[in-house]
Amino acid sequence: MENTWRVILTKSDAEPWWFFDDWNRDIVNEWKYTDKNEAINKYLDESKRLSMIYPRMKTKKYNSIAFWNENELVFCEGCDDDLQVYHGIILFENEEPMEMDDRQEKLKEEIQTLINKRN
C-alpha cells in the first residue's frame, strides 16, 4: 500500500489534537498528497499563513497546531458559556496524525520558531 499524507484545516471550539467522535465535521479544508515533502511544505506554508492572521498559537507533538484570536468566541447553549474558537492544522500520514521523529527535526524547529515569535 502506498503512503498518503493529508493536511487538514479545522475550525472548532476544541484544539485540533482532540479527536472527539464528531471531529470530522470541523474540517474546513484539506489537501491530499502522495509525496511526503509536498505535504510537509503545505503544512508549513499554511502554518505560517495562519500565524500571520491569529495572534495566539500552541502545538502538541508538532503534528497539529491551534491558532486563535481571544476575541473570537462562540456561545455554547449546552454549557451556557462562551467558548474559544480555534483554527487548527493537522498533518496526517496514512489516516493517523504524523509521528514526529528525528527525521522531522527540521520541521519541529521551524514550528517552534513560529511559536517563539509569538511569545
Per-residue pLDDT of the chain (119 residues), as tens digits, is 789 999 999 999 999 999 988 999 999 999 999 998 899 999 999 999 999 999 999 998 889 999 999 999 999 888 899 999 999 999 999 989 988 776 677 777 888 787 777 65
| Amino acid residing at 96 | E
Q: Which three cell numbers stand for residue 47?
A: 502554518
Collect all residues with Cβ–Cβ distance below 8 Å to 68 and sequence separation of at least 6.
54, 56, 57, 84, 85, 86, 87
Residue in 86, 110, 97 with CA at minimum distance from that of residue 15:
86
Q: What is the pLDDT of residue 57?
A: 92
pTM: 0.87
Q: What is the pLDDT of residue 105?
A: 79
Q: Is 79 helix (H, G, I), strand (E, B) or coil?
A: coil
